[in-house]
Amino acid sequence: MDLPQLRALVAAVETGTLDAAAGVLHVTPSAVSQRIRALESATGQVLLVRSRPVVPTEAGTAVLRLARQVELLVADTTAQLTGAPGAGPPVLPLAVNADSLATWFLPGVAPLAADVQLDVRVADQTMTSGLLREGTVMAAVTADPEPVPGCSVERLGAMTYRPRATRAFVERWFPAGATPAELRRAPTVAFDRTDDLQDAYLRRRTHDRPAPPVHHVPSSADYLAAVRLGMGWGMLPDLQTGPDDGLVVLDPAGAVDVVLCWQQWKLRSPGLDRVADAVRRTARAALGGTP
């Protein structure tokens, strides 16, 4: 394996096609194809499924993880040798759930903007560790406490969610309170089809699997806007709401704590270490994490 081959694999997976990867690397598509074929010959494995977009095989996922680690080490070493002028800060792909991104995460890492390039991928907190496992990212805010192979994990704290809606919505749909019968029919707002917070709350309250109307709004800010506009009730984090937002809690006993962890590669990198330290400090203040 050599650097051009590994970079060709990363570019192909990131862009989805060999043609697009060629544009990123400033070479011809034929050169990208040759480098990936040489990498497959060196490993004795098929690394990419040539679909649209291209998809790494199981072996390709392992080599992709290696390629990203090599890129990070090369960037760190180049910065040390050159004193950073012209070398450019390292690119750090991270996976973060949307609610963390909209509330506490960005204020914590913003002071590092001149020193690292953050490539943030947004996914549900139950899915972010999958991006880490695939080698797509180097670190993740995740609800998965089990370390991904080759990664370390530590608890950050918990985000508290409560079922909330507008007062007008409550008066229309829950005149007698949030009873199981009314919860079965009242519209809800979900982030996307992987968002289980509302369904989990409904199952706990109704002891079955109700299927009320659901509006999917895959943006944290727009999700909050949808609840404020009375489209439905939703599980909203305390960090995103306040006493003056016009929303009421449907069920005082309905709070759900989502424990978040930080997982990252077991790879010493100044840039990645600085991001991890910033995330820990911010989480300690916002989520009640362990000092």
Domain boundary among the residues 53, 84, 115 is at 84
Q: How confident is the model at residue 291 (pLDDT cuts 50, 70, 90)?
A: very low
Q: Where residue 197 sits, what CATH number does that domain have?
A: 3.40.190.10
CB 271 within 8 A of CB 265: no
Is residue 28 included in any domain, yes or no? yes
Res 86: pLDDT: 46
Is residue 31 included in any domain, yes or no? yes
Range of the domain at 212: 159-258
Is residue 273 included in any domain, yes or no? no
Give the span between the Cα atoms of 137 and 120, in whole angstroms.
9
Domain boundary among the residues 84, 112, 133 is at 84
Rounded to 5°, the CA angle 194-286-156 comes to 65
Domain boundary among the residues 33, 56, 84 is at 84
Q: Where residue 54 sits, what CATH number does that domain have?
A: 1.10.10.10
Is residue 126 included in any domain, yes or no? no
Is residue 287 included in any domain, yes or no? no
- What does the block give as tokens for 87? 């070398």
Is residue 289 included in any domain, yes or no? no
Is residue 246 included in any domain, yes or no? yes
Q: What is the pLDDT of residues 127-147, one digit of tens each?
A: 898 888 888 889 999 999 999
Q: What is the pLDDT of residues 167-181, one digit of tens each?
A: 999 999 999 889 999
**Please, what is the angle between helix 3-15 and helix 18-25, to 10°?**
120
243: CB partners within 8 A, 6+ apart: none
Q: How many domains does the chain have?
A: 2
pTM: 0.80
Q: What is the pLDDT of residues 239-274, one digit of tens each?
A: 999 877 889 999 989 999 999 999 998 887 888 999
Is residue 59 included in any domain, yes or no? yes
- What does the block give as tokens for 13? 């997976």
